[in-house]
């Protein structure tokens, strides 16, 4: 059980770092990217693709965001937030299903 706890802890630390730690994009915007919600265009177009169909992300998506004034470093942060956000929702859904299937997280 210890190894599983370590992974959950490392996951939470990563999530906290990218959402709340220092960054060049405002924390509020990083959280919106993580949640894939309430993003202005053209960020929404880029980050929704990252979250839901990453193979379709194109140079044009980045060019549109750059033209709107986002720096490379801001886009680096926001793309990471979008990717980790979607993966985290899946991870947490999986852990919740496991907890339900084993009748609570203590039933190991």
* Pairwise CA distance, residues 108 & 103, whole Å: 9
**Residue 64 to residues 49, 56, 101, Cα–Cα distance (Å):** 14, 15, 45
- Sign for the CA dihedral angle at 26, 30, 33, 38 comes to negative
Pick the closer one to another protein by CB: 8 or 38: 8
Pick the closer one to another protein by CB: 40 or 90: 90
Where does this chain bind another protein (CB under 8 A)?
A: 1, 3-4, 6-7, 10-11, 13-14, 17-18, 21, 23, 49-51, 54-55, 57, 59, 62, 66, 72-73, 75-77, 79-80, 82-84, 86-91, 93-95, 97-98, 100-102, 107-108
15 CB neighbour count, 10 Å cutoff:
17
Pick the closer one to another protein by CB: 32 or 86: 86
Minimum Å gap between C-beta 39 and another protein is 15
């Amino acid at each position: 059980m210890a190894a599983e706890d370590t992974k959950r802890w490392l996951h939470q630390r990563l999530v906290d770092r990218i959402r709340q730690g220092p960054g060049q994009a405002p924390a509020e915007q990083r959280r919106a990217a993580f949640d894939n919600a309430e993003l202005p265009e053209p960020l929404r177009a880029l980050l929704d693709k990252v979250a839901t169909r990453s193979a379709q992300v194109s140079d044009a998506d980045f060019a549109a965001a750059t033209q709107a004034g986002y720096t490379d470093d801001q886009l680096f942060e926001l793309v990471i937030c979008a990717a980790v956000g979607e993966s985290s929702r899946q991870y947490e859904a999986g852990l919740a299903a496991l907890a339900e299937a084993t009748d609570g997280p203590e039933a190991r």
